[in-house]
């Protein structure tokens, strides 16, 4: 079975939505129902209906027969479905099928069949929705923020090696955007190897920390020590000057 159905978000407010078994069965009915009138063994099966049995529904939904019976009782009670049972088959109909599946779906299915025969792209209301969805996805792909997130995801595997602090600094540097905000620094590089860049960054950061540590130690030396050194240098310079004058 091919094709698709539509599900409106209003289903979230449906009274049976939190009833897992009943919701499962109802959505299954939407999927199984004929999207156009058909003939089955000389019997007209209208759009929104399908021939089934309790056993078939149980096998298809993995619900027990009793769970199927209970859910059908609930759905018929609130007039979501109608069910007609004979000694040969059970005909199940979704009462408000048109509310859930507009006539545009019917044309979509027909055009899908034509697509298989002609291998040409056909535009329908639902296909337009799908194309809009794809367009939105493509727009996100082209969005600089989305690309930044993808870049960030490539750094996650290096967390154990370099730590979050270094990777954050690395990320901030390489995601700085250009003036037009269309690309960031990493994308402007002719060649890119994240492993090599991280290795170089780590070495540079290590050297920087060493230099900073040395400068800090010098800065933190006791003032008296520095004065003594200065005094020694002055005394030595004075001695040299005295020798030169003598």
Look at residue 64 and tell me whether its pLDDT is greater than 90: yes
Per-residue confidence band for 122, with pLDDT thresholds at 50, 70 and 90: very low
The domains of the chain are located at 9-101, 105-142, 144-235
Global confidence as pTM: 0.42
> Hey, what are 153's tokens?
């995801």
**Mean pLDDT across the stretch 66-72?**
94
Average pLDDT, the chain: 78
Q: What is the pLDDT of residue 66?
A: 95
Look at residues 74, 83, 76, 86 and name the one whose alpha carbon lies nearest to residue 33: 83
Mean pLDDT of 90-114: 67
List, for residues 201-216, the tens digit of each pLDDT value: 998 988 877 776 766 7
Where residue 119 falls (left for φ over 0; alpha for ψ -120 to 50; beta otherwise) is left
Return the higher-pLDDT residue of 152 and 219: 152
Residue percentage of the chain with pLDDT more than 90:
28
pLDDT-derived band of residue 154, with 50, 70 and 90 as boundaries? confident
| Domain 9-101 listed as CATH 3.40.50.720 | no
Contacts of 40 (CB under 8 A, 6+ apart): 51
């Amino acid at each position: 079975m091919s094709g698709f159905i539509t599900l409106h978000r209003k289903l979230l407010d449906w009274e049976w939505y939190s009833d897992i078994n009943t919701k499962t069965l109802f959505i299954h009915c939407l999927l199984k129902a004929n999207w156009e009138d058909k003939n089955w063994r000389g019997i007209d099966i209208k759009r929104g209906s399908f021939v089934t049995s309790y056993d078939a529904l149980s096998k298809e939904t993995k619900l027990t027969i009793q769970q199927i019976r209970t859910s059908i009782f609930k759905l018929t009670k609130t007039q979501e479905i109608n069910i007609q049972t004979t000694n040969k088959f059970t005909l199940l109909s979704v009462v408000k099928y048109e509310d859930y599946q507009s006539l545009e779906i019917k044309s979509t299915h027909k055009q899908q069949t034509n697509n298989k025969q002609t291998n040409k792209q056909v535009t329908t209301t639902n296909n337009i929705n799908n194309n809009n969805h794809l367009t939105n996805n493509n727009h996100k792909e082209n969005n600089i923020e989305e690309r930044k997130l993808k870049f960030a995801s490539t750094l996650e595997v290096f967390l154990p090696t370099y730590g979050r602090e270094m990777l954050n600094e690395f990320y901030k540097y390489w995601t700085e955007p250009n003036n037009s905000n269309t690309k960031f620094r990493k994308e402007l590089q002719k060649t890119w190897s994240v492993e090599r860049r991280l290795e170089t960054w780590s070495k540079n950061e290590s050297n920087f920390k060493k230099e900073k540590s040395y400068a800090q130690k010098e800065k933190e030396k006791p003032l008296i020590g520095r004065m003594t050194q200065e005094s020694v240098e002055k005394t030595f310079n004075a001695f040299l000057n005295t020798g030169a004058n003598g």
